[in-house]
């Protein structure tokens, strides 16, 4: 991971030493200078991720440095520090677009350490969002002209500017996250962060801390204060992926956050206001989960303000030719190959397939075919459409009247794992369940199946 680089500006050598020692312990790179003029020259050479500056300095004050920096870079985090803080100087600093204001008080070093971590993480999120936004038009979810996709385009454009919660449903691999990202980038929050958390990927004991944050000493192992995803997504969008996997105990607290627009950190005394647009995705039938008591009815109603359903690929097969063309172009350009298309028989083979893994599976198959072909036209034998679960599990393979549902389920899961080479992530996607559910089922069966891939929790 690339180390963050910080510019420290203070005319007091003692304070520079204190600040740089903190940064050194945290593993940051830094350059320390003793004047605003020296800082401006250093900044022009480039390579900094954040600026820490004293306010009262001879020659060029921190405010003057801030104004000069903003002429060169309007977005780099600029943290202003002063021992002479008052309301007027704070207002002046913020009006000149300072990112944060720190008063040298009893706990200023702890506050500084926290602020540096927060704003560096924020800057990283914004940079990543920009990178993703630049490629948004290339995202496969909008490739095609089927009526369902046209409806999604229209609905997304209508709801993007609102603050309403959006529920995006659909099978694994259809592109739900891409729809969520497009809602963010078309909204007035597009300059803010897009933060994602997978509700199925975290143990129940950690998800509350990840969502809402915690205070130092809140529990064993909480060695420092932590920002939750809601705070990190401030002024932006928070995606709660696989919301149906969220523990019921956390659902009640999420409902309160959505209603009150404030979070309570684990171990915290005071609520923290948050300005976040929430988008959730699920591959489950939440209405059924509500009826079975697995999901809170009041939370479901609060989330289901606007519902976007993304169709399965088998429901939009007329779009397959355009999707194939899109992925051929993508992986040809990425690899520097010269693949110019696919044979008619190869395309027919793709059209006849049932696509249990949806567009994600199609993309993987085309990527493989492009890599094997390298130049010319993709031939039919380069298209590796493996037999679907339905084909593998009908007729003469052990399925027979008298078997219990549990027996059938166990047999299906184990055969799918074998089909995927014991890669649990791929098996879970094909079965349309979460990794957590698959892991729990294997524990229930007392079957030790080593994961052949990196299990994406």
What's the whole-number mean pLDDT along residues 401-426? 74
pTM above 0.85, yes or no: no
**Residues 286 and 355 reside in one and the same domain:** no
What's the whole-number mean pLDDT along residues 217-230? 78
- The confidence band for 127, taking pLDDT boundaries of 50, 70 and 90, is confident
User: How many other C-beta atoms are found inside a 10 Å radius of the C-beta of residue 88?
Assistant: 8
**Residues 262 and 355 reside in one and the same domain:** no
212 inside domain: yes
**Residues 178 and 292 reside in one and the same domain:** yes
Locate 320 and state its tokens.
């397959």
**Residues 123 and 141 reside in one and the same domain:** no
Look up the domain containing 35 and give its range. Answer: 5-127
Q: What does the pLDDT look like over 372-396, one tens digit per residue?
A: 999 999 999 999 886 433 433 334 4
**Residues 156 and 42 reside in one and the same domain:** no
pLDDT of 27: 85
What's the whole-number mean pLDDT along residues 423-442? 82
Sign of CA dihedral 339, 341, 342, 348: positive
Q: What does the pLDDT look like over 171-208, one tens digit per residue?
A: 988 989 889 988 998 888 888 889 999 988 777 778 88
Phi, psi torsion values for 340, nearest 5 degrees: -105, 0
Domain count, the chain: 4
Q: How many CA atoms lie within 13 A of 120 on its CB side?
A: 22
Cα(46)–Cα(64) distance, rounded to whole angstroms?
19
Burial code of 288-300, b = ≥16 C-beta within 10 A, e = fewer? ebbeeeebbeebb
Cα(61)–Cα(299) distance, rounded to whole angstroms?
51
In sequence order, the 6+-apart residues with CB closer than 8 A to the CB of 390 are 354, 356
387 inside domain: no
- The confidence band for 225, taking pLDDT boundaries of 50, 70 and 90, is confident
What's the whole-number mean pLDDT along residues 21-34? 89
Locate 36 and state its tokens.
């605003």
What share of the chain in percent tops pLDDT 90?
A: 34
């Amino acid at each position: 991971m690339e180390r963050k680089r910080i510019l420290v500006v203070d005319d007091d050598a003692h304070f520079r030493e204190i600040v740089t020692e903190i940064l050194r312990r945290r593993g940051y790179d830094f350059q320390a200078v003793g004047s605003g003029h020296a800082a401006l020259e250093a900044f022009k050479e480039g390579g900094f991720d954040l600026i820490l500056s004293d306010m009262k300095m001879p020659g060029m004050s921190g405010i003057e440095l801030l104004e000069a920096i903003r002429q060169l870079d309007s977005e780099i985090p600029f943290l202003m520090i002063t021992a002479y803080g008052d309301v007027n100087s704070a207002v002046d600093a913020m009006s000149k677009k300072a990112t944060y204001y720190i008063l040298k008080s009893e706990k200023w070093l702890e506050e500084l350490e926290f602020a540096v971590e927060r704003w560096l993480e924020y800057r990283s999120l914004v940079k990543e969002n920009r990178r993703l936004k630049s490629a948004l038009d290339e995202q496969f979810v909008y490739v095609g002209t089927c009526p369902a996709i046209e409806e999604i385009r229209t609905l997304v454009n209508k709801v993007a500017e609102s603050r309403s919660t959006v529920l995006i449903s659909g099978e694994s691999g259809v592109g739900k996250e891409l729809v969520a990202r497009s809602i963010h980038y078309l909204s007035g929050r597009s300059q803010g962060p897009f933060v994602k958390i997978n509700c199925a990927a975290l143990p129940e004991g950690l998800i509350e801390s990840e969502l809402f944050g915690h205070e130092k000493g809140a529990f064993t192992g909480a060695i420092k204060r932590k920002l939750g995803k809601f705070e990190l997504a401030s002024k932006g969008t928070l995606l709660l992926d696989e919301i149906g996997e969220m523990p019921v105990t956390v659902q009640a607290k999420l409902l309160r956050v959505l209603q009150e627009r404030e979070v309570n950190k684990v171990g915290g005394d005071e609520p923290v206001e948050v300005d976040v647009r929430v988008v959730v995705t699920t591959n489950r039938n939440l209405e059924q989960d509500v009826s079975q008591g697995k999901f809170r009815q009041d939370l479901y109603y609060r989330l289901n303000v606007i519902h976007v359903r993304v169709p399965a690929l088998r429901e939009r097969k007329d779009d397959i030719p355009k999707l194939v063309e899109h992925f051929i172009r993508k992986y040809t350009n990425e690899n520097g190959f010269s693949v110019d298309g696919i044979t008619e028989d190869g395309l027919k083979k793709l059209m006849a397939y049932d696509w249990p893994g949806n567009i994600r599976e199609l993309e993987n198959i085309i990527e493989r075919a492009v890599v094997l072909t390298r130049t010319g036209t993709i031939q039919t034998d380069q298209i590796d459409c493996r037999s679907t679960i339905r084909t593998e599990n009908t007729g003469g393979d052990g399925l027979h009247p008298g078997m219990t549902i549990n027996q059938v389920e166990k047999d299906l899961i184990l055969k799918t794992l074998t089909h995927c080479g014991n890669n649990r992530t791929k098996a879970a996607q094909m079965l349309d369940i979460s990794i957590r559910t698959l892991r729990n089922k294997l524990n229930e069966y007392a079957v030790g199946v080593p994961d052949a891939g990196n299990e994406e929790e």
